[in-house]
Structure 1
C-alpha cells in the first residue's frame, strides 16, 4: 500500500511568458508593487515577494507556451530540489475569490482555483538551455507551483541554476532615484495597443511623442497655450489669431475687464441690437459695474425677451444672416459655423463678461463676439488691437 503523501488538488495551465519574468499573485497584486518587486528580484535573484505577489525571474527570455503545474498541499510537500534547476520560496495570500493569477509583461494572464488563505509557495523550474534567448519562442522549460498553508515557518533560500560554462548571473543592486524619476518610472515602458488583426507593443515614449505632435497640430502647429486651455473657444482663438491671444494673456485684470466689455458692445452693434432700449440700459450697467437690469437676469430670460422683441421689430439684415464657410490662411475659419442666429450669439457675450475670472471673461467674450462676427472676425480683431494698442505679432 502506497502511503506517500500527495497534493490535495492539481491543475495545469499555460502562460505566455516574456521578458524573462512572471508574477504569481493571489488576486490582491498591484502593478506598482510588482514593479518594485521586479527591482528587488533583480537585486536578490531569482525572486522577490511581498505576501500579495511573487515575482520570479526565468533564465529563459521567453516561452510563449510555458507549462505550469499548480499543486495545493495540506502541509509542506516532500523536498525534491535536486530534480529542479531553479527553486524559489515565498509567502502568498490568496483572496476570498479563490484565484491564483499568473501574469507576464505581455499583458497576458492565466489563473486557477485555489482556496482563499495564507500560504507558503514554492516555484520550481527546469529544462533551461541558456540565460537569455533560448533559441526559440517555445523552449522546453517546465514549471511547478506548490502551495501549502502557512505554518509560520520562514521560506527556504532560493536555488539558482548554475549554467555550465557560465555560472549564475550577477545581481543588480537597487538604485536610488529622485522623486521626478520615480514618477517617470511609474509609467510602463511598453503599452499593448489592440488593432484589427491583433495587438502590438508600443513604447509609451512613442505614444507621448505622438500625443504631443497631435496637440501641436490641433493648436495650429504651435505648443498649446496653457492659460486658455480650459476656456470655451480658447483653442479656436489661438489657432485663428495666436499673436492676439498671447497679447491678451499678458493684460492685467482691469484691462481684461475692459476687453470683455468692449467685445460685448461690438457684438451687440454688429448684431443690430445696440439701439434697443433694453440692450442699451444693460450695456450702460455693464460699463458701470452695476447689476444687469431685466431681462438679463438669466440667459433664458434674455433669450425669451429677444424672441418677444422680434414680434415688434422687423429683423432686417442684421438680425439673422446665413453664411457659408469661408477660409482664413488656408484653414477652415473656426468662426464660420454655418447659418447662425446672430442676435442670439450676441446675447451670450454679456453673460460671458460677468465671469468672476477676468481672464476667462475676456477670452470667452472675445470668442462669442468672434462667432457673432463670423467671416468678419478678422475685422473685430483688428479693431481690438487698435483700441487697446495690442501687437500684431509676438516678439
Structure 2
C-alpha cells in the first residue's frame, strides 16, 4: 500500500521548543490535559497520545529555532526510518476546525497547520541530536518531520529512540499503577482487575477502586486536590513539595500575587547569575514599575538570542559538552524533587521567569513564575520555598 501513497500537502514551520517537549493538538479537547499526559509520555518514551493531543519528548532540552515539516498523505508512505534518529507513531483525531496546532511550554506561540478533519495515524521523526539534555546552545539544529495519513486499519509501529554513544537511551520513568475504569454496567459493584508483571488477578469492589484513586490523587497533591492549580504544569508539584505555600498562593489577593510573580522572577535571575548583567537589570526595573520591557526583552526569541550570543558567542563550534552517565535508582521516591531536572543550562531556564511574571492573569503569573524559579533552583528548591515563606510572612 505504501507504494501507492500520495503526498497531498506539505507545510513548513519553525517552533520555539523548550523543556524538552512539544505538543501536537488535533482537537480543542486536548487543551489543559498536558500535565497528566506528560507523565504517560515519560513512562512510554518518546511520545504519548490520547487521540486528541500528542506529547513528543525531544532529546534536546531546547531548540528555539526548530524546523519541521508537516506532510499529509493519502495512505501510509514508504518507511525511511533508517534516515532518522527518533521515530514514533500515534493516533490523532483532527476536529472540525480542519487544523492541527503545535506548542511547547512554558507557553510559546501556537503554530497552526491546515489538516482536513478526520482520524489519522501520525509519524513524528527527528534527527540532528547532539546530547540528551542541554544541547550546548539554544539552536542545536535538530529537525523534525510529521507525516499524517488516514488511520484506516493501520497499526502503530514500535518507536525508535536515539541511541546516544556513551549513554544509550533514557529509561522510562515509572508512574503509579493505573486504576482501571469500572465496567460500564452501573449495577455491577465488583470487577476483576487483571494482574501485571506476573501478579494474580484480583476481584475488588468499585468503591475500593475509587478510594484507591482518590488516595493516589491526594498523595500527588500532598493533600486534597486544589482546583485552582490544576491548569498549571507546576501546580501539583508545588503543592506536593510545599503544601502550606500552595495554599497561601491560592488565597492571595491580586497585588500579592503580582508581587509573588515579580519576586519569583528576581529569585530565578539572581540564582542563575542573570540579575546583575547590564542588559538584564533594566528589564527587571521595568517589570517592577509596569513599564514595557526594553530590548532585547521585546519577546522571548530576541531575549534568548542575546543570552545565547553572550554565553556561547556567535557560533557553537567551540562549545564543549560533558556527558555524565550515572546509574540511579529510578523507583518512585516519596521525597523526590520534581523540579530537579539534572544537568541543564540554568540561565536558559531562568530567562523565562520575567515573561511568566508579566502574564495578564495574576494567578497564572505567580504560579508560572514560581514554577520556573523552582526548576532554576533545582536541587536547592527547599531554599527557594523557605525564602518565599519568609518574604510573604507564611511562617508558623
Structure 2 length normalisation: TM-score? Answer: 0.49
Pick 1 or 2: higher relative contact order, CA cutoff 8 A, min separation 6: 2
Whose radius of gyration is greater, 1 or 2? 1
Structure 1 length normalisation: TM-score? Answer: 0.49
